Amino acid sequence: DTGVSQNPRHKITKRGQNVTFRCDPISEHNRLYWYRQTLGQGPEFLTYFQNEAQLEKSRLLSDRFSAERPKGSFSTLEIQRTEQGDSAMYLCASSFGGNPTDTQYFGPGTRLTVL
């Protein structure tokens, strides 16, 4: 396991459709984060898991967004009834909570385009 992986890398969908993204963290990492990055901006925090528990959600995460981490390993992020404003890069990161620096390592991202 060489790093955080995300699938798919690119997703093009029509407005109103549902999409689901997957993130596989570094295997020994117990913490998993989702961020969203729009063009020309820095990433913005969406949500955070420690093991399977979702402990924090940003107010950016509307009720059309849901994230899960059912077994404390991989995570999915689903967007229902997509809107054009959802077009962005969705980044996943993981960290080992027992490390004092709690450094977050990022995956390559999933770029979503909503037509």
Instruction: Tell me which residues touch another protein (CB under 8 A).
Output: 4, 6, 31, 33, 35, 40-45, 48, 50, 55-56, 91, 93, 95, 97, 101-109, 111
Cis peptide before 70 (omega within 30 of 0): no
Tokens of 78: 């689903």
Provide CB contacts within 8 A for 83, sequence distance 6+: 15, 64, 114
CA–CA distance, 11 with 78 (Å, rounded to integer): 12
Residue closer to another protein (CB basis): 80 or 105 = 105
Kindly state the smallest distance separating residue 44's Cβ from another protein, in Å: 7
Kindly state the smallest distance separating residue 80's Cβ from another protein, in Å: 24
- Beginning with the edge strand found earlier in the chain, give each strand of the sheet holding 75-79 in spatial order: 5-7, 19-24, 75-79, 65-68
Kindly state the smallest distance separating residue 81's Cβ from another protein, in Å: 26
With CA atoms as reference, report the closest residue to 34 among 115, 109, 113, 103: 109
Residue closer to another protein (CB basis): 80 or 96 = 96
Residue closer to another protein (CB basis): 68 or 80 = 68
Kindly state the smallest distance separating residue 16's Cβ from another protein, in Å: 27
Residue closer to another protein (CB basis): 42 or 85 = 42
